[in-house]
Amino acid sequence: MQKLRLGMVGGGMGAFIGAVHRIAARIDDQYELVCGVFSSSAENSRASGLMLGLSPDRVYSSYQELFEKESQLPEDQRAQVISIVTPNHLHYEPARQALESGFHVILDKPMTFSLQEAKDLANAASASGRLFCLTHTYTGYPMVKEARQIVQEGRLGRIRKIYVEYPQGWLSGFEEGSGNKQASWRTNPDQSGAAGAMGDIGTHAFNLAEYVSGLEVTKLCADINIVVEGRKLDDDGAVLLKFANGASGVLMASQVAAGEENNIKIRVYGEKGGLNGSKVMQTASC
């Protein structure tokens, strides 16, 4: 069985989501990491690549160099897919260039820094003829896949109501003021874009609601708050939702729900039954 050859942009030492992508790839054993540029620092990139067991000549100093050099390798050696795991403001450029250089692209959420970039990237993906995958990690969990299947099989009947929530408490204090790297970029509009908590975790809740229900959100009304003094981006919000089939919903996402760790949860109710986290409830008459 031939494995797919994977290149990675981002994810060096000190980063968070890149290692998750690599572990996920190894669990299924369908990918082999063959090259990468792991940091904007050439030194960090090189050290990270060697730690990962890569050949030194396939650890690059920039994504431009990676795309160029890999394209020149023989077809049965060059990377086939590029996984992009950089901060939000560095999603658009490498993703677009990878697609235009002929690589398939796996991009971690949220899509881009701005809505305009997202639209442009969608067009670039269509034009390229390459696969473009936007990863929301929770869709990979067996329980989430089972929830989606339960809805698809009609076991709940027509969907009427969806509650989805993602409470975290780790930004209850002004963490970005005390050198917390994970807090700093997430609360910095120059790196995260216009959305704070909504971009960071609200997107997961939104994706989960659409993924599990199979329904698209068509209207919404949102209450977005900056709770912690001095913060520059929203750290809390709640959204009333309407779905394409007329169902309604509520999305709650907060990073100031003190004491909560990372509690994403979905509840879906239909004509015939409901799904509450891991519990499936069907009404007697079914």
**Residue 11 to residues 19, 41, 85, 225, Cα–Cα distance (Å):** 6, 12, 6, 31
Helix (H) or strand (E) holding 47: helix 42-51
Q: Give strand ranges (E) for the chain.
A: 4-9, 31-37, 81-84, 104-108, 132-135, 159-167, 217-225, 236-243, 248-254, 265-270, 273-276, 279-282
φ/ψ of 12, rounded to 5, equals: -80, -170
- State the nearest-atom distance from the C-beta of 39 to a copy of itself, in Å: 17
Q: How far apart are the C-alpha atoms of 121 and 99, rounded to whole Å?
A: 9
- State the nearest-atom distance from the C-beta of 109 to a copy of itself, in Å: 23
For residue 275, what are its two tokens?
Answer: 């799904």
- State the nearest-atom distance from the C-beta of 265 to a copy of itself, in Å: 12
- State the nearest-atom distance from the C-beta of 129 to a copy of itself, in Å: 29
Residue type, 108: D
Identify whether the C-beta of residue 103 lies closer than 8 Å to the C-beta of residue 73.
no
Q: Give strand ranges (E) for 122-158.
A: 132-135
- State the nearest-atom distance from the C-beta of 53 to a copy of itself, in Å: 5
Q: Which residue number, 69 or 272, has a Cβ lying nearer to a copy of itself?
A: 272
Sign of CA dihedral 138, 140, 146, 148: positive
Identify whether the C-beta of residue 13 lies closer than 8 Å to the C-beta of residue 88.
no
Q: Which residue number, 89 or 204, has a Cβ lying nearer to a copy of itself?
A: 204
Query: Cβ contacts of residue 42 below 8 Å, gap of 6+?
Result: 61
Q: Which residue number, 52 or 73, has a Cβ lying nearer to a copy of itself?
A: 52
Q: Which residue number, 42 or 52, has a Cβ lying nearer to a copy of itself?
A: 52
Given the rule CB under 8 A, which residues bind a copy of itself?
A: 1-3, 22-23, 26-27, 29, 50-53, 156-157, 160-161, 163, 165, 167, 169, 172-173, 221, 223, 225, 227, 236, 238, 240, 248, 250, 252, 254, 256-260, 267, 269-276, 279-283, 285
For residue 44, what are its two tokens?
Answer: 């960090």
- State the nearest-atom distance from the C-beta of 18 to a copy of itself, in Å: 13
Q: How far apart are the C-alpha atoms of 225 and 235, rounded to whole Å?
A: 6
- State the nearest-atom distance from the C-beta of 60 to a copy of itself, in Å: 19
Q: Which residue number, 256 or 264, has a Cβ lying nearer to a copy of itself?
A: 256
Q: Which residue number, 125 or 164, has a Cβ lying nearer to a copy of itself?
A: 164
Q: Which residue number, 212 or 257, has a Cβ lying nearer to a copy of itself?
A: 257
- State the nearest-atom distance from the C-beta of 198 to a copy of itself, in Å: 14
Q: Which residue number, 27 or 142, has a Cβ lying nearer to a copy of itself?
A: 27
